[in-house]
Amino acid sequence: MNKRKRKAVIAGNWKMNMTPDEAVAMINELRPLVKGKRGCEIVLCVPAIDIPAAVKAVKGSRIKIGAENVHFEEKGAFTGEISAKMLLTCGVEYVIIGHSERRQYFGETDETVNKRVKAALNAGLKVILCVGEVLAQRDLGITGEVLSMQTKIALQGVTLDQLKNLIIAYEPVWAIGTGRVATPDQADEGNGVVRKTVEALYGKAAAEALTIQYGGSMNEKNAAELLGKYNVDGGLIGGASLVAAKFAAIVDAAQ
């Protein structure tokens, strides 16, 4: 399949940054910079508290709003959690699931990632599923096994039809927030492993159609080269997504 037939998606992950006022200011700055950039889908995944302001601020533009996590139950005694329905009714379209920071600091496991993925897809959210190896795993030479395992467990019970609402982001943990970006070949290789794993589960056509992002210190300088790789269909961007001009430059690189 021609890579150009896959949907390119440039998504920001703001993590725990930006107040609602700051979110609106950034979006107002970003809007004119990405106007008419139809070569990719543009998503900003923002802290839950920013969602209503951000949804309002992107109205009339092509920018979509995503959340950074979602709970797998529909409702109930889960203090501090947010359901898929709550996100949807606030105008959220995307949700990041299984980010390495959730796995590292908040006890997220492959099993809970799988539960969240199923709950989000069943509710009608689009999912950005994150997978990635830590440095010790790369040094051991088991990156492929780790990516394949995380992908397989996360997708258990996900139907072929639901794949159209799924994006996978390969984010090597050692490249996140470190300034140490994967080489374009490493990104292509990691994304390629994810695609092969999806092919084994769902067949070649589904795997070739799947949008697979790279994430980890992607910025306005290295984006074009990373996005030029066959298996890299977009980016999940942390630090550089907080600055309108930098994020817009990455959107440019995806055109």
Q: What is the DSSP letter of 214?
A: E
Whether 111 sits among the annotated catalytic residues: the reply is no
112 vs 106: CA distance, rounded Å: 11
- Examine residue 238 and tell whether it contacts ligand 13P (CB under 6 A): yes
Nearest to 233 by CA among 201, 187, 202, 174: 187
Site residues for ligand 13P, window 146-175 (CB under 6 A)?
171
Of 99, 108, 133, 220, catalytic? 99
| DSSP H helices in the chain | 20-34, 51-58, 84-89, 100-105, 110-123, 135-140, 143-154, 184-202, 204-209, 223-227, 244-253
Is residue 66 within 8 A of residue 97, CB to CB? The reply is no
Distance spanning both ends of the chain, measured CA to CA: 19
> Which residue among 176, 223, 248, 251 contacts ligand 13P (CB under 6 A)?
176
The residue (of 51 and 176) whose beta carbon lies closer to ligand 13P is 176
Task: Kindly state the smallest distance separating residue 199's Cβ from ligand 13P, in Å.
Answer: 24
User: How many Cβ atoms from other residues are within 10 Å of residue 120's Cβ?
Assistant: 30
User: How many Cβ atoms from other residues are within 10 Å of residue 187's Cβ?
Assistant: 29
Whether 171 sits among the annotated catalytic residues: the reply is yes
- Examine residue 213 and tell whether it contacts ligand 13P (CB under 6 A): no
- Examine residue 236 and tell whether it contacts ligand 13P (CB under 6 A): yes
**94-113 footprint of ligand 13P as x/- string (CB under 6 A):** -----x--------------
Task: Kindly state the smallest distance separating residue 200's Cβ from ligand 13P, in Å.
Answer: 26
Task: Kindly state the smallest distance separating residue 184's Cβ from ligand 13P, in Å.
Answer: 16
**Strands 211-215, 166-170: pairing kind:** parallel
Work out the burial of residue 4: count CB atoms within 10 Å of its CB; fewer than 13 is exposed, 13-18 middle, 19 or more buried: exposed
**2-21 footprint of ligand 13P as x/- string (CB under 6 A):** -----------x--------
- Examine residue 217 and tell whether it contacts ligand 13P (CB under 6 A): yes
- Examine residue 237 and tell whether it contacts ligand 13P (CB under 6 A): yes
The residue (of 163 and 167) whose beta carbon lies closer to ligand 13P is 167
- Examine residue 215 and tell whether it contacts ligand 13P (CB under 6 A): yes
Nearest to 15 by CA among 241, 243, 185, 248: 241
The residue (of 171 and 188) whose beta carbon lies closer to ligand 13P is 171
Q: Contact region for ligand 13P (CB under 6 A) — 28-36, 50-58, 116-124, 232-240? A: 232-240
Is residue 250 within 8 A of residue 219, CB to CB? The reply is yes
The residue (of 35 and 221) whose beta carbon lies closer to ligand 13P is 221
- Name the site residues for ligand 13P (rule: CB under 6 A): 13, 99, 171, 176-177, 215-218, 236-240
Residues assigned a catalytic role: 99, 171
